[in-house]
Amino acid sequence: MAEIEHPQIYLITPPAFDLDSFPDRLAAVLDTHPVACLRLALATRDEDAVARAADALRDIAHTRDVPLVIEAHLGLVERLGLDGVHLTDGSRNVRKVRKALGADAIVGAFCGNSRHDGMTAGEAGADYVAFGPVGETGLGDGTRAEKDLFAWWSEMIELPVVAEGALDENLIASLAPVVDFFGIGEEIWRDKDASAALARLRAAMG
């Protein structure tokens, strides 16, 4: 397999944000940095809140030719004019979702640190597989996706791979040769100047 070119940014929204201010912050980041895809990853289960957020971000993303996918909520993709869905339960529903959304939609699968689950997701029709968390975090069960998983994947599997979760500059520098995308979210949104924070992380990609 050919050596991976410069990794791209897969931007992830915060789990909660203020619709009065976040769209402007997002627009500033998208106007400053090349972003391959944007994921709406709200924690709320309030359908109206998710729909309002999607409406606000869709226009910002699409004006800049950035596809917008939504985390988990398959039923909202077509209704809200989104580009696809990011599944958080591994390969379990990829085949069903691909059939429901058709060939043109983006379907991604988060597979933790399971090489087998990632391969199964790819065989079922996923456009990319995400592994993580990569860095140290108190969330989840403490299991991390290590560099050797990404190195094996980049050598053996054609399907694009995303590294996400508790990233920092050192991890990004280490993983840049073996990943296609970095899923970056809270790493920059917690910073007052998100564009500057993303610039630091991009610089670490080499």
pLDDT digits (tens, 9 = 90+) for 141-171: 889 999 999 999 999 999 999 999 999 999 9
Please provide the average confidence, as pLDDT, over all residues in the chain.
96
Q: Is the predicted pLDDT of residue 2 greater than 90, yes or no?
A: no
What pLDDT, on the 0 to 100 scale, is given for residue 206?
87
- Say whether domain 8-203 belongs to CATH 2.30.130.10: no
Helix, strand, or coil (residue 9): strand
- How far is the C-alpha of 201 from the C-alpha of 206, rounded, in Å? 10
Task: Please name the residue ranges forming H helices in 33-76.
Answer: 47-63
Give me Rg for the CA atoms of the chain.
16
Residue 14: asked if its preceding bond is cis (omega within 30°), the reply is no
With contact defined as beta carbons under 8 Å apart, do 37 and 10 qualify?
yes
Residue 80's CB is within 10 A of a number of other CB atoms, namely 18
- How far is the C-alpha of 175 from the C-alpha of 171, rounded, in Å? 6
Closest to 50 in 3D by CA, of 72, 29, 65, 66: 72
- The residue-averaged pLDDT of 15-24 equals 97
- Residues above pLDDT 70, as percent of the chain: 98
Query: Does the predicted model carry a pTM greater than 0.75?
Result: yes
Residue 68's CB is within 10 A of a number of other CB atoms, namely 24
The one-character DSSP state at 4 is P
The pLDDT-based confidence of 4 (bands split at 50, 70, 90) is low
- The residue-averaged pLDDT of 12-20 equals 97
